[in-house]
């Protein structure tokens, strides 16, 4: 049964607003439309869209890097046992695979990985995970995409004589673990300019610095090892960066762009290629969003429903056939995950719609809990409900390790730093929150069942103080209208290839009015449309809106629409055509 203490059935139409370009200094070779798009996202000159590896920030700017490199150097020189402890999402999986693959390529013989089973041990380097790790007798533990809050776990490891390097990107708590080295661009005193690195980006920098140190010591010549090219691993970095939805600042765009370029020419790891293959995606046409919507979810499905080591093995294998077999398994897990999610979402929405909140009583912070929900899928559920109601959402499920505990996954909207909001709750109301951590837009937490109602009330109170009425009204930012001549393949390709689009550097959206000539449902719940810019219908264009409400569409009474859309390339039976991917529809009858 859904606890509806904080839920809503009130929906508002999004406001359409156009981005404002700023003065820019691009060379004349850049298409005027792209200049407008780039400048409105803060890229105002050629250097801002130059994604050469030489433009990456230097690893030496990372606090804690020398200590981490020294520990890894010593492990290589003395052939010590190294254990990588990762997280159970795509960022954690790519971080693990990258670490193991690169250290093996550097000549380390004893390196393995361990990912906590989220249902038994929870998140991070806990004391319990250290005990599991101890069975392999590691000399050094390296955390990737976690560890910055693992005070007790690090203490446990060091008490057993195990050294610890923490590499993470999550916001540090007030008390840091007493690790032998900490590399996190968000730790106090770190001068690294990009605070937006994903976990895989952090460990990539550490390993790049390690390679430089090995080169200076002539390690590769002495060991008769061909010096690895770090750029060859950027497909993993690109995948983890996009899948973790970190902001694509210039530094991250370089990492993603370089990984994407390697993928498009077939130079990605077999596992990534196989995951695209089972999804029916041509790697040659891959775009950055494919990392987030095709490859990432299939990797994440392993961590959500089973064991993330399955996904890591897929990324690590060099055997094409094995990669495909594992990719098929992951694809099956993803289908199962989607079925579970669909059921949970249906239950959640039914419960929300039954609440009948009026405008004044409408909660700002939505919290949900159901005894039957799956712990591994509540994050996706929170995201879906957040998208539907445009409010911060926390969805809880029972903990599989503790009957008295429930675990929540939080998703936020622009204007609310969700991890900081949880920190305020913890500070003002001690004892309610057991554990929490995360980012501006996503977080995880644990509370006692008995505290759920109080937490829901306190969370809503805190969120109400931080969000305004304008914040609660979803705004779709577009890049304006397109002219009739802009609906062409060359321009669609140009936009698709122009940059790695993603978080805080979003793919271009356009708006415009169209005459609706034809409409029909395809694939159960997708609306296929034939549009024209004028009533005569001389120049038509195809459009599709995914996952629409089939109780509202098709609607024969609608003959004109205001659309927010992406200009895309549709490939069908080897033929390319322009297609609009519709993000929002408003009816305009005439």
Note the pTM of the prediction, 2 decimals.
0.88
Q: Specify whether 494 is located in the same domain as 459.
A: no
Domain assignment of residue 487, given as a range: 476-587
Q: Specify whether 63 is located in the same domain as 116.
A: yes
148 falls within a domain: yes
Q: Specify whether 279 is located in the same domain as 425.
A: no
Answer with the one of 332, 365, 397 that is the final residue of a domain: 332
Q: Which pLDDT does position 361 carry in this prediction?
A: 59
Q: Specify whether 491 is located in the same domain as 545.
A: yes
pLDDT digits (tens, 9 = 90+) for 166-196: 999 998 988 999 999 999 999 999 999 999 9
66 falls within a domain: yes
Task: Indicate the Cα dihedral angle 403, 406, 407, 408, nearest 10°.
Answer: 160
339 falls within a domain: no
Q: Specify whether 100 is located in the same domain as 209.
A: yes
Answer with the one of 466, 499, 525 that is the final residue of a domain: 466
Total domains, the chain = 3
Q: Specify whether 459 is located in the same domain as 482.
A: no
SS3 sequence, 120-157?
CCCCCCCHHHHHHHHCCCCCEEEEECCCCCCHHHHHHH
Q: Which pLDDT does position 118 carry in this prediction?
A: 60
Cβ–Cβ contacts within 10 Å for residue 41, how many?
20
44 falls within a domain: no
Q: Which pLDDT does position 167 carry in this prediction?
A: 98
Torsion sign across C-alpha atoms 254, 296, 127, 158: negative
Q: Specify whether 552 is located in the same domain as 521.
A: yes
Percent of residues in the chain assigned helix, strand, coil, to nearest 5 = 40, 20, 40
pLDDT digits (tens, 9 = 90+) for 508-556: 999 999 999 999 999 888 999 999 988 887 889 999 999 888 888 999 9
Q: Specify whether 263 is located in the same domain as 223.
A: yes
499 falls within a domain: yes
Domain containing 491 — which CATH number? Answer: 2.40.50.460
Domain containing 404 — which CATH number? Answer: 3.10.310.30
Highest mean pLDDT: which range of 21-30, 99-108, 445-454 = 99-108
Answer with the one of 441, 466, 491 that is the final residue of a domain: 466
Domain containing 313 — which CATH number? Answer: 3.90.1640.30
Q: Specify whether 485 is located in the same domain as 461.
A: no
48 falls within a domain: no
Would you say 563 and 511 are in contact if contact means Cβ atoms under 8 Å apart? yes
Q: Specify whether 177 is located in the same domain as 297.
A: yes
* 179/285: higher pLDDT: 179
111 falls within a domain: yes
83 falls within a domain: yes
């Amino acid at each position: 049964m859904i606890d509806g203490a904080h839920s809503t059935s009130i929906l508002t139409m999004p406001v359409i607003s156009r981005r404002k370009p700023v003065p820019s200094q691009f060379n004349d070779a850049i298409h005027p439309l792209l200049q407008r798009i780039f400048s409105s996202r803060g890229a105002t000159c050629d250097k801002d869209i130059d994604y050469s590896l030489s433009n990456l920030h230097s690893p030496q700017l990372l606090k804690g890097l020398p200590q981490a490199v020294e520990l890894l150097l010593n492990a290589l020189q003395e052939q010590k046992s190294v254990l990588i402890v990762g997280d159970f999402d795509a960022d954690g999986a790519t971080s693990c695979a990258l670490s193991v693959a690169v250290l093996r390529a550097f000549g380390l013989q004893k390196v393995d990985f361990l990912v906590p089973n989220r249902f038994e041990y929870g998140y991070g380097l806990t004391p319990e995970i250290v005990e599991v790790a101890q069975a392999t007798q590691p000399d050094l533990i390296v955390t990737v995409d976690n560890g910055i809050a693992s005070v007790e776990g690090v203490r446990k490891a060091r008490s057993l004589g195990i050294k610890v390097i923490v590499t993470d990107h999550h916001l540090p708590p007030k008390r840091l673990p007493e690790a032998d080295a900490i590399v996190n661009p968000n730790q106090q005193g770190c001068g690294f300019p990009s605070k937006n690195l994903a976990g895989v980006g952090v460990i990539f920098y550490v390993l790049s610095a390690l390679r430089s140190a090995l080169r200076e010591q002539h390690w590769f010549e002495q060991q008769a090892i061909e010096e690895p090219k770090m750029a060859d691993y950027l497909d993993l970095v690109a995948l983890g960066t996009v899948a973790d939805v970190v902001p694509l600042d210039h530094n991250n765009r370089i990492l993603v762009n370089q990984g994407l370029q390697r993928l498009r020419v077939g130079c990605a790891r077999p596992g990534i290629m196989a995951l695209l293959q089972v999804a029916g995606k041509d790697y040659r046409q891959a775009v950055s969003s494919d990392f987030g919507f095709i490859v990432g979810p299939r990797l994440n499905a392993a961590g959500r429903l089973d064991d993330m080591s399955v996904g890591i093995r897929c990324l690590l294998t060099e055997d094409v056939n094995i990669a495909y077999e594992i990719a098929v398994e992951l694809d099956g897990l993803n289908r199962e995950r989607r079925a579970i999610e669909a059921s949970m979402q249906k239950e959640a929405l039914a419960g929300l719609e039954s609440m009948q909140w009026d405008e004044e009583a409408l909660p700002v912070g939505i919290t949900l809990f159901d005894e039957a929900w799956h712990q591994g899928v509540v994050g996706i559920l929170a995201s879906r409900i957040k998208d539907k109601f445009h409010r911060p959402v926390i969805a809880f499920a029972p903990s599989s390790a503790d009957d008295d505990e429930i675990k929540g996954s939080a998703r936020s909207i622009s204007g609310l730093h969700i991890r900081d909001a949880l920190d305020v709750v913890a500070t003002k109301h001690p004892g309610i929150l057991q554990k929490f951590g995360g980012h501006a837009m996503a977080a995880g937490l644990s509370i006692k069942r008995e505290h759920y109602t109080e937490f829901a009330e306190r969370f809503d109170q805190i969120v109400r103080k931080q969000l305004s009425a304008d914040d609660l009204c979803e705004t779709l930012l577009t890049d304006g209208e397109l002219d009739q001549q802009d609906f062409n393949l060359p321009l669609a390709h140009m936009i698709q290839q122009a940059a790695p689009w993603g978080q805080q550097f979003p793919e271009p959206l356009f708006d415009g009015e169209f005459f609706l000539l034809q409409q029909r449902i395809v694939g159960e719940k997708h609306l296929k449309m034939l549009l024209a810019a004028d009533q005569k219908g001389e120049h038509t264009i195809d459009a599709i809106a995914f996952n629409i409400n089939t109780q509202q569409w098709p609607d024969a009474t609608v003959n004109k629409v205001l659309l927010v859309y992406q200009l895309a390339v549709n490939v069908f039976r080897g033929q390319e055509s322009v297609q609009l991917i519709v993000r929002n529809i408003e009816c305009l009858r005439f």
